[in-house]
Amino acid sequence: MGLCLSACLQIEPRGFFVSYESVDQRFEQSMTWNDQHPFPTLVSSEEEYEFYAVSDIHAGKTNNLGLFLEQALLQQPIAVFMAGDLTTGNANDYHELYAVLPPQDSLPLFPIPGNHDLYFGGWKQYRLLFGSSVYSFSIKTSQTSDLYICLDNAGGTLGALQLEWLKELLLYERPQHRYYVLVNHNNWVRLRRMLATNPYVEELEVLLELCLKHRVDLVISGHDHKSHTAVFGNTLFITLDALRDSYPTPSYLIVSIGPDSINYSYRNL
């Protein structure tokens, strides 16, 4: 206990429990960055394409991440989503993480933060490396277009500004796209009690209604460290396994997007 208290005093205990920035502040900073660095539209030469998703890497240690990236670079999915908890929250974790990431032009990576990524001023490091935690982009084929929306609920809530942005995006963009896919860290569907960053029930009701109203096809999350799925209305909710080195059964998600359906599978490392 003495060692723990000593370490906590050196790093200021408040940083372990809450982010120094509010979710609305992170949203505003992300929108400013997006205005200056617009996300490009990805183009698939085929009518069917694949993307991968991972979560809860928890660098420092990056052995599993390295194995995953080797496979992804070989298979070349059109995109790779990194659904939060990229780090454990220690000061050097972001440097360890960034050191193993490939160039964006060799493998398009789309990260979002998790609760661990915000601890001890982690948002500042995240911004320096990745710029934004809230954004959207399209993947186009010769026949259609699909919209991908990456959200920041790392602290357990989208906040007022981000929720309003999402409502407008769903309202005005939906008619232009075939599939709608949302990616965030904290899983909306919980099969067990969790200690950290539980979502607000009232906000979940609003989000589920939005998914139903606007025919959201897929919501991908992490945080739980245990894969499971659920279906509400038209929406498939997928919670990912952890990719962290200490996790006994690390895996990643492969999603196949086709003209008539969305299919998925898990691949163990």
Share the mean pLDDT of the chain. Answer: 91
Predicted TM-score (pTM) of the model is 0.91
Query: And the tokens for 219?
Result: 């919501």
**234, 245 contact by CB (below 8 A):** no
- pLDDT above 60 (res 230): yes
More confident residue, 169 or 7: 169
Q: Is 76 exposed, middle or buried (0-12, 13-18, 19+ CB in 10 A)?
A: exposed
Please tell me the predicted confidence (pLDDT) of residue 12.
Answer: 38
The domains found in the chain, sorted by start residue, are: 19-268 (3.60.21.10)
Average pLDDT on 126-136 reads 97
pLDDT digits (tens, 9 = 90+) for 34-79: 999 999 999 999 999 999 999 999 999 999 999 999 999 999 999 9
Task: Give start and end residues of each alpha helix (H) in the chain.
Answer: 2-11, 14-17, 23-36, 63-75, 93-100, 122-130, 159-173, 201-213
Any idea how long the chain is? 269
- Which residues does residue 237 pair with via DSSP β-bridges, in sequence order? 219, 230
Q: Among 44-53, 61-70, 185-194, 255-264, which is the least confidently predicted range?
A: 185-194
What's the rounded Cα separation, in Å, for the pair 55 and 81? 8
Query: And the tokens for 158?
Result: 């989208």
What are 248-256's contacts with CB under 8 Å, separation 24+?
A: 250/64, 251/227, 252/52, 252/53, 252/54, 252/68, 253/52, 253/53, 253/54, 253/220, 254/50, 254/52, 254/77, 255/50, 255/51, 255/52, 255/53, 255/218, 255/220, 256/48, 256/49, 256/50
**81, 149 contact by CB (below 8 A):** no
pLDDT digits (tens, 9 = 90+) for 76-128: 999 999 999 999 988 799 999 999 999 999 999 999 999 999 998 899 999 99
Q: How confident is the model at residue 19 (pLDDT cuts 50, 70, 90)?
A: low
Query: And the tokens for 129?
Result: 């490396």
What's the rounded Cα separation, in Å, for the pair 215 and 218? 9
Closest alpha carbon to 131 in 116, 106, 148, 110? 110
- Which residues does residue 80 pair with via DSSP β-bridges, in sequence order? 52, 109
Q: Among 31-35, 89-93, 219-223, which is the least confidently predicted range?
A: 89-93
What's the rounded Cα separation, in Å, for the pair 171 and 88? 36
What's the rounded Cα separation, in Å, for the pair 98 and 82? 13
